[in-house]
Amino acid sequence: MRFLLVEDNTDLANSVSARLRLDGHAVDWAPDLRAADACLAGASYDLILLDITLPDGDGRDFLAKHRAMNRDTPVIVMTARNAVSDRVKLLDSGADDYVTKPFDFSELEARCRAVLRRRGGSARNVINFGGMEFDALAARITIGEKVRELRNRELRLLEILLSNPRSIYSKAQLCDRLFSYTEEPSENAIEVYVGRLRKKIEGCSARIETVRGVGYRITDA
């Protein structure tokens, strides 16, 4: 997916960009509203991540203008305010959703997916691998005629494995990305999800291999 990140704090912008790139997304960074306008004029984005407090104006004014111009790129606001009254106001101001700083990227991703899905999936990124068609937005895999729904963790697991096919992910790595950082899940839990995912992709040439003592990888051999 292609993100436009509007955030004036350089450190945060850099790390958010780096983090999103880790998941294979493209990110353009605009440090203020003027730069954001320039970016939007020159390219099209799947999603805008918008900070509220910016050096040359308020993100909410940008939102209002954005909506008035009928640009339909969805906007997720990154807010530092999470007071109850702000929650209500933010959504009224035209944001599609919001995350509160500091935010969890799994949650951000889930919200992005939900927003895009609500918007009718304008940014379909369907991955074809080993004879299966994986639609992350719709949480679906299609193998031949068969369509299978994926649950959220199965979806994320498949996304992780497919982001770098054939390379090995350790159980710990998968744990870190599938479960919240606070709970310490047993590594067996991963096995459960791998098992389920294996069942769902049966019938095509893609397979999830266990690399004994190291982890898992997806191959299409």
Partner 1 sequence: MDRGRFSSNSLGRRLLLQLLLVAAVLSALLYLAVRSVANQAAIAAHDNILGASATAIAEQLSASEGEVLIDIPYSAFSMLGAISEDRVFYRIDSDRTTITGYEDLPLPREVNARTAPQYYSSRFRDSDIRAVALERLITVDNLPVSVIIAVAQTRRGQDAITARVANTAAALGIGFFLVAGFMSWLATRSTVRPLHDVAGAIGRRGAHDLRDLKSPIPSELAPLVNSLNGFIARLRDALHRNETFMAEAAHHVRTPLATVRTQAEIALRQAETDESRKTLRSVIRAVDESSRSATQLLDHAMISYRSDQLARESFNYSELTADVIRGLIATAELKDLHIVSDIDTDLQYNGDKVLIECALHNMVDNAIKYSSDESRVDIRLNPVGGKIQFQVCDKGRGLGGSVQRDLTVRFKRGLNVSDVVGSGLGLTTVELVAQVHNGKFELVSRSGGGTCATLTL
Query: In the complex, which residues of this chain contact partner 1 (CB under 8 A)?
Result: 9, 11-12, 15-16, 18-19, 22, 52-53, 78, 80-85, 87-88, 91, 97, 100-107, 110-111, 114, 151-153, 172-173, 176-177, 180-184
> Nearer to partner 1 by C-beta: 100 or 125?
100
DSSP 164: S
CA gap 197, 191 in Å, rounded: 10
CB of 151 to partner 1, least distance (A): 5
> Nearer to partner 1 by C-beta: 142 or 173?
173
Cβ-contact 141, 134 below 8 angstroms: yes
> Nearer to partner 1 by C-beta: 76 or 218?
76
Instruction: For tokens 């080993």, name the residue.
Output: 130
- 18: number of CA atoms within 13 Å, CB side? 6
Nearest to 204 by CA among 140, 128, 125: 128
> Nearer to partner 1 by C-beta: 12 or 208?
12
CA gap 175, 189 in Å, rounded: 8
CB of 131 to partner 1, least distance (A): 26
Which tokens belong to 131?
């004879």
> Nearer to partner 1 by C-beta: 25 or 101?
101
CB of 138 to partner 1, least distance (A): 14
> Nearer to partner 1 by C-beta: 17 or 36?
17
Q: Who's near 128: CB < 8 A, 6+ residues apart?
A: 134
CB of 105 to partner 1, least distance (A): 6
CB of 144 to partner 1, least distance (A): 26
CB of 80 to partner 1, least distance (A): 4
What amino acid occupies position 56? D
CA gap 60, 87 in Å, rounded: 13
Helix (H) or strand (E) holding 30: strand 26-30
